[in-house]
Amino acid sequence: MINTESSIRIDYFNIEGTPGGNQDWCTDFWMHLGGCAALAACDLSICLSKNLRLTDCCPYDPENMTKKQYVDFSMVMKPYIHPRMGGVAELSLFTDGYGKYLNDRGYDVTFDLCPGEKSFEEAEIFLKNALKKNLPVPFLLLRHRDKSLKDLNWHWFMITGCDVRNERSILKYHTYGEEQEVDFQQLWSTGMYRRGGMAAIKAIR
């Protein structure tokens, strides 16, 4: 993990050389179409196992996971955060389902939420505090007026780092087996009435 005044980056994972998981690997129709929330939970579970040594969070070795095992894991998570018409479009749908998964694995967990209605300044503090735990932060984007972000509409993805450049916070995020960057203030300012937000683990034992 990197944690300096200008940069925070968590230790993420690779699967057969790919940075993070990839929804395109899923062979189940609904998971391939709309399984991003369940996969966000899988990715967080992998990091809980890898970074915090909470090994029962993930049924496979996070350091040597195969694509097949990742897909198999996604089907374990599917009943807890199942794809549906309209998507997993509320932060509580994610935390309720994922909390049940972790409870069934023997863990007691609490979450912090940062709804999209919060100010950018509040969101920035929330995110940086969450990343300092060396865990990714699941981010839900519903709609965004900026057409350059259209590929992230109605999607859950993982924030894995934040760099300060020219007094702007630039996020590292993982989705579809790729690491990409986006200006945090641009991402947060959706220009839409209905917004998503972020969910982070507050405590787990």
In this predicted model, what pLDDT tens digit does every residue of 80-134 receive, in sequence order? 998 887 789 999 999 999 999 999 999 999 999 999 999 999 999 999 999 999 9
User: What domains can be seen in the chain, in order of their start residue?
Assistant: 2-204 (3.90.70)
- As to burial, measured by CB atoms within 10 angstroms (0-12 exposed, 13-18 middle, 19+ buried), residue 110 is exposed
74/27 Cα distance (integer angstroms): 10
In this predicted model, what pLDDT tens digit does every residue of 57-66 receive, in sequence order? 999 999 999 9
pTM metric for this prediction: 0.95
Q: Which long-range contacts (CB under 8 A, 24 or more apart) does 164-167 make?
A: 164/5, 164/6, 164/7, 165/6
In this predicted model, what pLDDT tens digit does every residue of 132-168 receive, in sequence order? 999 999 999 999 999 999 999 999 999 999 999 988 9
Amino acid at 189: S
Band of residue 193 on the pLDDT scale cut at 50, 70, 90: confident
In this predicted model, what pLDDT tens digit does every residue of 181-191 receive, in sequence order? 999 999 999 98
Average pLDDT rounded to a whole number, residues 29-54 = 95
